[in-house]
Amino acid sequence: MDRTMLVLGAGSGTGAAVARRFGREGFHVAVVGRRREPLDALVSDLAEEGTTATAFPTDLTDEVRVAELLAAVTSALPPIEAIYYGPSSPVTFTPARQLTVAEADRYWGLLVLPLIHTVSATLPGMIERGRGAILAAIGGTGARAMPEMSGPGPAAAAARNYLQGLHSEVAPHGVYVGLLTIGALILGSEMADVTPRDSYEFPTVESAALAEQLWDMSAVRNTFENLVPTDSIFGP
């Protein structure tokens, strides 16, 4: 295991599934989330599956902690050759007319700034080695605004814009940037766990299927973005 997959947002759902999928490909997996307990449980599960993983409990909204995280992973583990960015937090949609600066700033500090910080710290090494993958997932409102569904959308749209530009810039250097835009409830995620089954209004998707898509995107490298589902209401 001479390469590391850094999973930011690995507590449950897609992040945990990504850790499993890339672990099967021989990556050492660095799992990052707010709370140690689910990370330790994931590390234990991965070990039983034959994957070596290390937990790094970190508040991604704290710039100092993110810097410490990146320094720790870089010094302790093999080179970072893949990143998945998909931190989770309780999402409450807000009508755009009611969105406050404080709420917008909270999402910006979770979905945009730590992503840029992580890429800035790890991309030079990927370019130098001539290989790497930067993967992320956002909710559908980051691609298309919907009435009564603002909140995370503006920040997710900014992250999408940043990654789309990055995709074209770094491809000639052997680095792939790919995005899943998800207009479905992810089974096994924190949000799904607190959502009564009879109140599901969106399609549902298994986190393992999302992880498989991300792996395929990083291997084939023929598109920047996949919509989930493909006929998502958040598509063009």
What DSSP assignment string belongs to the chain?
A: ---EEEEES-SSHHHHHHHHHHHTTT-EEEEEES-HHHHHHHHHHHHHTT--EEEEE--TT-HHHHHHHHHHHHHHSS-EEEEEE--------B-GGG--HHHHHHHHHHHTHHHHHHHHHHHHHHHHHT-EEEEEEEEGGGTS--TT-BSSHHHHHHHHHHHHHHHHHHGGGTEEEEEEEE-SEEETSHHHHTS-GGG--S-EEEHHHHHHHHHHHHHH---SEEEESTT-TT--
Q: What token pair was written down for 64?
A: 């100092």
Q: Which residue has the tokens 């100092």?
A: 64
Letter for the amino acid at 170? V
CB 99 within 8 A of CB 150: yes
CA distance 214 to 206: 13
CB 148 within 8 A of CB 180: no
Letter for the amino acid at 26? G
- Which pLDDT band, with edges at 50, 70 and 90, does 231 fall under? confident
Q: What is the pLDDT of residue 185?
A: 83
Q: What is the pLDDT of residue 227?
A: 94
C-alpha pair distances (Å), 177 with each of 38, 92, 164, 173, 227: 28, 28, 8, 11, 15
pLDDT over 70, % of the chain = 93
Q: Which of 228, 32, 34 is nearest to 143 (CA)?
A: 228
- The mean pLDDT value of the chain amounts to 92
Q: What is the pLDDT of residue 88?
A: 80
Main-chain dihedrals φ then ψ at residue 186, nearest 5 degrees: -85, 115
Q: Which CATH superfamily is domain 4-228 in?
A: NAD(P)-binding Rossmann-like Domain (3.40.50.720)
CA distance 106 to 92: 12
CA distance 61 to 32: 12
Q: How many CA atoms lie within 13 A of 102 on its CB side?
A: 0
Q: What is the pLDDT of residue 110?
A: 95
- Which pLDDT band, with edges at 50, 70 and 90, does 186 fall under? confident
Q: pLDDT for 56-88, tens place per residue?
A: 999 999 999 999 999 999 999 999 999 999 998
Rg, the chain, Cα only? 17
